[in-house]
Structure 1
Amino acid sequence: MASNQDLPEGTVQNILDQESLKWVFVGGKGGVGKTTCSSILSILLSRVRHSVLIISTDPAHNLSDAFQQRFTKTPTLVNGFTNLYAMEVDPNVENEEMLGSEGMDGFLSDLANAIPGIDEAMSFSEMLKLVQTMDYSVIVFDTAPTGHTLRLLQFPSTLEKGLAKMMTLRNKFGGMLSQMTHLFGVSDDFGEGAILGKLEGMKDVIERVNKQFKDPDLTTFVCVCIPEFLSLYETERLVQELTNFEIDTHNIIINQVLHDEEDAESKLLKARMRMQKKYIDQFYMLYDDFHITKLPLLPDEVCGVEALKSFSCNFLSPYESPIIRGKEEVLEQRVSTLREQLKDAEAELERQRKGKQKI
């Protein structure tokens, strides 16, 4: 394990300094604060980049809650910014819109069931097409929990399977494929050739983007976690999968870290801090070549642009608890409080003594 001096800087400054980055993924287990982290990253990037787009690919969209502004599948300027845009993509809703009311019955239902993830792959490729026609200097993905994120990175092979299945079905059922034309918004005159062309086009887009995803100059993945066993385990799995997909990752954000151990009077809190320290030490041991950013647990949620901006300082300089920041000052305050309490206790004791003497 590297010594503290050898460890990479515990901030996200390296991401802000890498001007070539085009795609920044933020992912991890559910409920660890991915949306807050991706929102703050996009705010920090908007200070150093010409234009930034943040996209939520999590069906349980929290981007609107984080910024306290309603977003849709069309990029919308975030209130208070001139160069930060946000959009929320829901594969299921978009797919229903594309399919129409009778789209998934019979033949089409069989096709969708035969190729798991084909609907998401298609809507994701459509979204990527849209994004590529726009001139954003960097795009931040607020991804769904780990499993969904990994599926998103498998879309090129999913579409390839889809094409192979389509060819098999065409040989089997011939003209029946014309039923699918409305799925892609083309007229019946175009027939199956247009459908296959559309799928090929989607595959081309995703393969082109996938090459960019595998280029460390263009893409990086930020893993968000909390200092607990399940989150450590999930992060390990995610880092391994990203390595298998050849996707660069060298930033871990550990959220909800408890501080002020000396100030804590609760036994439960102290036990929790000891547990967290154990897992934080393991993170440093496993990922000694990563930039590990620790974020403090706050009493309130970080919601709204001002709260996000205020909290962003913890992404740029390692958090120091008040005990460390001004230990002497805090101790003086505690001594002063104890003196006041002692005075009150002495006065109360004196009153009780006088009361006894009168009796």
Structure 2
Amino acid sequence: MEPFVFFGGKGGVGKTTVSCAYGRKCAEAGQETLVVSTDPAHSVSDVFDQEFGDEPESVDGVDHLHALEVDPDDEVQNHLDDIRNRLSDQVSAAMVNEINKQLEMAHQTPGAYESALFDRFVEVMRNAEPYDRVVFDTAPTGATLRLLGLPEFLEGWIERLMAKRRQSIDLYEKAAVGNNEPRRLMEGDPVLNRLQERKEFFEFAGGALQNDAAFFLVLNPDQLSVNETARAIEQMHERDLTVRGLVANKLTPSPDDDENGRGARYLRDRVATERERLEQVRTEFEPPLAAEIKSRTSEVKGDLLGDVADELDVDTNVETPTYVS
């Protein structure tokens, strides 16, 4: 199995529970494991009954297991502050105030959240040397698909910006007269250097996701969840990302044969409907079911998390990365 494992799916299907359970399974197999939450709900702290921040912390009571929770608001602010600092060194003082105004407006614009969050989880992948396995508990499907689509979209966009910048510098160089130095030089241009850094960043991200990451989708046995899972599989295929397997979560347990009350009849009807949905998944979807996890009456944490980990038929062995060095 690849070193980076992502669990995605519709909101509320139990991605965090499955991610934490798989992280525990890997840790108990002796793998140094990091669970990373990119979901704004931040339920990893709830599952482990322990507060986590932006830096990896050991999970109490589980050897080899660490966790961190990415705060989207902090990441957006850090992202914009970095842009502000870089631009402030490259423009006149008169422009600094205008830049600050524009960046404050950008804080709430569509895409700021995705861009900042993407930078953070790619940074985690680039600096994953202390860990054998990194498990990502992702945001709901739509947000995750937008994140995974950023390398392809932004790499091409940056290439176009670099072409425009080179054209601009070339015109300035040609406009230099006599012994006058051109106002801008191609070599050492800070804007071109920054764009090149971003281009290499997105090239790394695309290569890491396609070569060293495995994707699993968590679903519940209801039609809405099944339909969204089908769409997610198709959209990830369009991005050359393969869904390795599916995890059916929150399955209704069957009542005992001798139970015939109203509750038992309801449960039997529900179980029958869920089995139809699971059969649809088995016959119509290419990725196999890696687990069928029944609902628990108590919150899944502690020993119950270990029980869920045992039900996950997902390999814990770590393959040598083929792209990430």
CA deviation after TM superposition for structure 1 residue 247, in Å: 1.4
Contact in 1 for aligned 2:40/2:71 (Cα 8 Å): yes
Contact in 2 for aligned 1:118/1:159 (Cα 8 Å): no
Residue 181 (structure 2) pairs with residue 200 (structure 1): no
Instruction: Please give the alpha-carbon distance, in whole angstroms, between the structure 1 residues aligned to 2:21 and 2:260.
Output: 29
SS in 2 for 1:27: strand
Contact in 1 for aligned 2:16/2:43 (Cα 8 Å): yes
C-alpha spacing 1:202/1:270, structure 2 compared with 1 (3 Å): same
Equivalent position amino acid for 2:210 in 1: K
Q: Which residue of 2 aligns with 1:55?
A: 36
Equivalent position amino acid for 1:96 in 2: Q
SS in 1 for 2:221: coil
Unmatched tracts of structure 2, length 5 or more: 85-96, 170-187, 315-325
Instruction: Please give the alpha-carbon distance, in whole angstroms, between the structure 2 residues aligned to 1:194 and 1:49.
Output: 45
Runs of 4 or more consecutive aligned structure 1 residues displaced over 6 Å after TM superposition: 101-104, 110-114, 164-171
Instruction: Please give the alpha-carbon distance, in whole angstroms, between the structure 1 residues aligned to 2:270 and 2:285.
Output: 22
Contact in 1 for aligned 2:248/2:293 (Cα 8 Å): yes
Q: Which residue of 2 aligns with 1:306?
A: 303
Unmatched tracts of structure 1, length 5 or more: 1-17, 175-191, 318-359
Residue 127 (structure 2) pairs with residue 133 (structure 1): yes
Equivalent position amino acid for 2:148 in 1: L
Residue 145 (structure 2) pairs with residue 145 (structure 1): no
Contact in 1 for aligned 2:128/2:134 (Cα 8 Å): no
Residue 209 (structure 2) pairs with residue 213 (structure 1): yes
C-alpha spacing 1:49/1:287, structure 2 compared with 1 (3 Å): farther
Equivalent position amino acid for 1:210 in 2: G
Q: Which residue of 2 aligns with 1:343?
A: none
Q: Which residue of 1 aligns with 2:68?
A: 87
Q: Which residue of 2 aligns with 1:226?
A: 220
SS in 1 for 2:215: strand
How well do the aligned residues superpose, as a CA RMSD in angstroms?
3.2
Contact in 1 for aligned 2:79/2:116 (Cα 8 Å): no
Q: Which residue of 1 aligns with 2:282?
A: 284
The structure carrying a bigger helix percent of its residues is: 1
Instruction: Please give the alpha-carbon distance, in whole angstroms, between the structure 1 residues aligned to 2:152 and 2:50.
Output: 36
TM-score, with length taken from structure 2:
0.74
Instruction: Please give the alpha-carbon distance, in whole angstroms, between the structure 1 residues aligned to 2:195 and 2:63.
Output: 36
Equivalent position amino acid for 1:284 in 2: R
Q: Which residue of 1 aligns with 2:253?
A: 259
Contact in 2 for aligned 1:126/1:202 (Cα 8 Å): no
Instruction: Please give the alpha-carbon distance, in whole angstroms, between the structure 2 residues aligned to 1:202 and 1:289.
Output: 33
C-alpha spacing 1:168/1:106, structure 2 compared with 1 (3 Å): farther
C-alpha spacing 1:224/1:59, structure 2 compared with 1 (3 Å): same
C-alpha spacing 1:66/1:199, structure 2 compared with 1 (3 Å): farther
Q: Which residue of 1 aligns with 2:115?
A: 121
Instruction: Please give the alpha-carbon distance, in whole angstroms, between the structure 2 residues aligned to 1:157 and 1:224.
Output: 25
Q: How many residues were matched structurally?
A: 276
Equivalent position amino acid for 1:238 in 2: A
Q: Which residue of 1 aligns with 2:295?
A: 297
Instruction: Please give the alpha-carbon distance, in whole angstroms, between the structure 1 residues aligned to 2:260 and 2:77.
Output: 52
CA deviation after TM superposition for structure 1 residue 54, in Å: 1.0
Of residues 89-98 and 139-148 in structure 1, the stretch that sits farther from structure 2 once superposed is 89-98
Matches within 5 A, 1:104-119: 106-108=101-103, 116-119=110-113
TM-score, with length taken from structure 1:
0.67
Instruction: Please give the alpha-carbon distance, in whole angstroms, between the structure 2 residues aligned to 1:313 and 1:258.
Output: 18
Of residues 240-249 and 150-159 in structure 1, the stretch that sits farther from structure 2 once superposed is 150-159
Structure with greater Cα Rg: 1
Deviations 1:306-352 (A, max 9, x none): 331133222259xxxxxxxxxxxxxxxxxxxxxxxxxxxxxxxxxxx
Instruction: Please give the alpha-carbon distance, in whole angstroms, between the structure 2 residues aligned to 1:194 and 1:236.
Output: 45
Q: Which residue of 2 aligns with 1:269?
A: 267
Instruction: Please give the alpha-carbon distance, in whole angstroms, between the structure 2 residues aligned to 1:131 and 1:45.
Output: 17
Deviations 1:265-290 (A, max 9, x none): 32332322222122111111113661
CA deviation after TM superposition for structure 1 residue 105, in Å: 5.6
Instruction: Please give the alpha-carbon distance, in whole angstroms, between the structure 1 residues aligned to 2:227 and 2:13.
Output: 13
